[in-house]
A and B are shown apart, each in its own frame.
Chain A
């Protein structure tokens, strides 16, 4: 396609035909404010509703102002983005948006990170002169993971695009019209009763406070304040490469030691690592894979392949409500978060000689679905949950700030023993491709009895939505599929339903774009997908710098099996580390 020439604010620029004015402007470094528009290049998320009109510009020869995010350029077009007329129009548009928006910034979870608030500030709005129709009044909808406050919805419909087109879940749709228009599940049902997977990707893209996480930090404070409780933290792999951003560090900065320090400073009794139970997951899942594979190759008809990873709770929700026919293909291994809770409240509590009720397990997760997962009934013993409280990366950052601490200023500290000892295989769970790479490292050595010369499996890495690669295990070729983002997962699942033509043996699925590094509880990337890539690089760097890089070589894991569990897939392992799935019929 040929390029076209446009002039924007006096600057000439050549762009491919079909580009929008906004794209052309960005190319020459002219920034036009936007609100509804969102383009996450690497994850196929483009929100094109053009509903807000904040991005209007003047186009020579046209009477009306044009929304730059939705107006294609034509050759010779002359555009002005910063005339008085444009400024006035934008200001009026923002004022209109504010006229129908609750003025609750003081207590809003998005305050300071709200794109509407930013615009209002940028345009110096000091009063809203338009007092039109009354605002809509929707009841807040609380799920364990997400709070929907539709009075704050500005109808950009980013969440709908994310949920329907990227994740292909279809939990959300625009409903009603005019001032009453909001985005909602079918029949205005509470989110928990719907096909929603709690992935939190809608929260990650909502520009305002209409969709936010269900904040549990106050519960953490309550636990810390209780002298009778032993409060134990676990931190997920992806948190250490992202939480620094909340304190002004560059994306991809590794702050593992400072994260530990922060948690200790605010009063946690033990700071442990989910990477430890990621290693444990590999022991269980890896052996399960090998066992299924051997039976399968021996012709056992009852054995289903491919085996699917089961660490991602949003993905588990997805398969439970959307692919009932595939319900028995995911590994029965619990996720690392749940394995941690289970081991902390059995193995570790017994070591300390305290009853499980005295222990409070707090997870710090990049994820909102983990909140929901922790609340599932099967993950509790006599009403006492394995994981008591789950907070997101954002929530922890907030908590640390409340304590008047700057993470960047803290001294590095080490995780506690024994549940803080981990390997490079554990940390790569944080990125797409990581779980399966960790599994292959272990499965290879168990299967072949040989030591790996190279632990890096580059063919499993990357950012493409669906990847397929093979690993040669000394003659046995293992075909592996990887998908991140639920839309991509759907593609692979349909393929399995169609008879698995590529003969895949194992599939890794993560619900969020990029894997956990792009989780719904991570610092907001505000549409900049390079942030995810930097976090991914950081994850692999942590892996490279680890002394041990294979789960089965983790000394704390070896000890756990020797002194407590017996061996992988033992009866005790099954009781503590495995789960089951059930089909859920939801709207």
Chain B
């Protein structure tokens, strides 16, 4: 697991300090924090709570409520499956299930070896290619459940 670096905390602190008011900005700050750290471990949540003068319980409440926040570090290769309307109606859920089965993890989790993680995302703006899956920066279109094995194969070594 990657260590949490001081520079990362500094960057987050600067971001928070640059806000004119932090009132009602918890979600925005958490987004930024996740962008910086890749996930939201306890220490980061405590840090945010202190900086924004809210309880850690409240921060955790928000983190646990929204599925796009995660407390586990992303895998080396994050598999983002679009669950937007277009992708959904064209079978994104089946694709998601196939990835889960293949990797034996749930959405928001990371494989034991730290290689893969799965997240569900909202419309990524490529509806013409639905259902869409992104591994890191690479986009896969018209994905079907039987393609899942091959996609994963590309990253195994």
Contacts and interface: CB of A to CB of B under 8 A. Distances in A.
Contacts of A187: 42, 45, 56, 60
A171 B65 contact: no
B57 interface: yes
Contacts of A185: 57
Interface in A190-229: 194-195
A175 interface: yes
A489 B42 CA distance: 29
Contacts of A186: 42, 45, 55-57, 59-60
B64 interface: yes
Contacts, number: 46
Contacts of B55: 164, 169-171, 173, 186, 195
A185 B59 CA distance: 10
A47 interface: no
A245 to B, nearest CB: 33
A558 interface: no
A432 B61 CA distance: 34
B65 to A, nearest CB: 5
A169 B56 CA distance: 11
B58 interface: yes
Interface string B36-54: 0000001001100000001
A172 interface: yes
B34 to A, nearest CB: 16
B10 to A, nearest CB: 22
A255 B45 CA distance: 50
Contacts of A170: 54-58
Contacts of A194: 57
A587 interface: yes
A164 B58 contact: yes
Nearest to B42: A187
A178 to B, nearest CB: 10
Contacts of A46: none
Interface string A159-176: 000001000011111111
A587 B46 contact: yes
Given A170-B57, A186-B56, A187-B45, 16 more contacts: A164-B58, A170-B54, A170-B58, A173-B57, A173-B58, A173-B60, A173-B61, A175-B60, A175-B61, A175-B65, A176-B65, A186-B42, A186-B60, A195-B55, A587-B46, A587-B57
Nearest 7 pairs between A and B by C-beta?
A170-B55, A173-B61, A173-B57, A186-B56, A186-B60, A175-B64, A186-B57
13 contacts: A170-B55, A170-B57, A171-B57, A173-B55, A173-B58, A173-B61, A174-B61, A176-B64, A177-B65, A186-B42, A187-B45, A587-B46, A587-B57
